[in-house]
Chain A
Amino acid sequence: MEGNLNPSDKKPLMTDAFEAACPLFMSYGMTYDEFWHDDPVRAKYYREAHEIVLEQMSFNAFVQGRYVRDAIADFIEFYAMTSRPKVGKHYPEKPYPITDRAKRIAEEHREEEVANRYLKMLGAKRNGNND
């Protein structure tokens, strides 16, 4: 390119930084062409997406740890401390509700169960069957 300064023997600093960062951003899912030829701002979204993935991984590990913890608690309580195995009460019968939607559905199911138990207790269900 004409109009440039005298070529320097030093390797250009920005190119060095780009070449060093390229594999990192490719590990985030960015393609080589996106990194070099597309809008440079795109890298920002790949980095942010990667941070979200890390948070999801951390959350998944946390939830898995809770399942393991509850399974071990069941084992200790019902097999190590008593001679008679019982039904475990620590390990959940359903997956933990994680999303807001799942929490809402779980809450609706819980309220439904409470209501059913209450009706059963009052004998309302039997009366209903007799009708």
Chain B
Amino acid sequence: MTITLEYNGKEYKLGFTRASIKQMEQDGFNFMEAQNYPATLAFSLIEGAFRTYNPKISEDKIYEIFDSLERREELVSVLMEMFQEPLAILKSPEGDEAKEKNVPWKVI
């Protein structure tokens, strides 16, 4: 599952791979612990999702784009689901229920 969004004429793809999750965890991110700190969780997920497919994007650019989005809380909720998907798929057939389509997202 990936998210695509267009900002200033440029298309950005957001999502997670196992490698990007590994990198986030090596940088200190722990999904279980982070759930106690919603703001930190959200920031980490947003940055991680952007950097998976846009490794050279700056932090300022990420938040410039994020601030321009509508339904930001919903986006974070979807990112939480997406973050867990790579593990869920490995664990059991139930994980296969994860969506395989791109989630449309609009910029204000």
Contact = CB atoms under 8 A, between A and B. Distances in A.
Interface in B21-54: 21-34, 37, 40, 43-44, 47-48, 51
A6 B87 contact: no
A18 B38 CA distance: 25
Nearest to B24: A1
B89 A40 contact: yes
Chain A interface category by residue count: 20 to 34
A5 B30 contact: yes
Chain B interface category by residue count: 35 or more
Contacts of A39: 2, 15, 17
Contact of A44 (B30, B43, B89): B89
Interface of B: 1-2, 15-19, 21-34, 37, 40, 43-44, 47-48, 51, 59, 85-87, 89-91, 95-96, 98, 100
Interface of A: 1-8, 10, 12-15, 17-18, 21, 25, 35-41, 43-44
